[in-house]
Amino acid sequence: MVKLLDTEIKSESLVFRVLIALFLASLSLAALYLAPRALINYLKVIPDAQLQSLMDQLLDPRIPTIGLIVSAFVLVTVTLRKTKVEGPLLICLGASLLSFWYILLHGGIITFPIPMTEVQQAMGINVPMSILANVTINLTTLMLAAMSTPLLIMVKGALLTRARLFSRAFY
């Protein structure tokens, strides 16, 4: 038996927890850190300056960093499950996932300019005036749906923390 944060855990169970935690953390690391980082690095070599500017607006450079933080919280939360710090760790995991989705979806509304000079050239229109146009995509509903799971994770963490604090008051 191993004593981990005032909780007795069998050695075999601890090894199994660590293996599961490493597996889940590696999956989240691949999806939330490595894939966005590779995409950002790949899009940096786009020769077209206007397309490069558009990609810079769509892909926030903070996404891989937050993905790395989420992966670290997944590793620690799964490893320390059913200990006294599980509740606060779940709150931190939920908050980091909330920020990941919020930044990934730009707060629900994505706006980017359309390079009208290239559109005019592609259509064969030679207009001497310049036209400015923006495209706005409203992803608020998708963002709220994506953020519901992290919110529930945070609620679970708060309830676990409250239950553990409340149960200690009577001992």
pLDDT tens digits for range 47-74: 776 667 777 777 888 999 999 999 999 9
22 within a domain of the structure (yes/no): yes
2: its two tokens: 């191993």
- 57: how many CB neighbours lie within 10 A of its CB? 13
131 within a domain of the structure (yes/no): no
CA separation for the pair 28, 19 (Å, rounded) = 14
33 within a domain of the structure (yes/no): yes
Residue 114: enclosing H or E segment and its boundaries?
strand 109-114
80 within a domain of the structure (yes/no): yes
Distances (CA, A) of 34 to 3, 49, 57, 89, 155: 34, 25, 19, 23, 29
pLDDT above 70 coverage of the chain, percent:
82
CA separation for the pair 81, 87 (Å, rounded) = 9
- Is 121's pLDDT higher than 80? no
59 within a domain of the structure (yes/no): yes
Compute the chain's Rg from CA coordinates.
Answer: 23
CA separation for the pair 134, 137 (Å, rounded) = 10
Q: Model confidence at 162, in pLDDT bands (50, 70, 90)?
A: very high
106: left (phi over 0), alpha (psi -120 to 50) or beta: left
pLDDT at 117: 67
CA separation for the pair 43, 17 (Å, rounded) = 38
23 within a domain of the structure (yes/no): yes
Domain encompassing residue 65? 2-107+149-168
17 within a domain of the structure (yes/no): yes
137 within a domain of the structure (yes/no): no
How many folded domains does the chain comprise? 1
Higher pLDDT, 54 or 137: 137
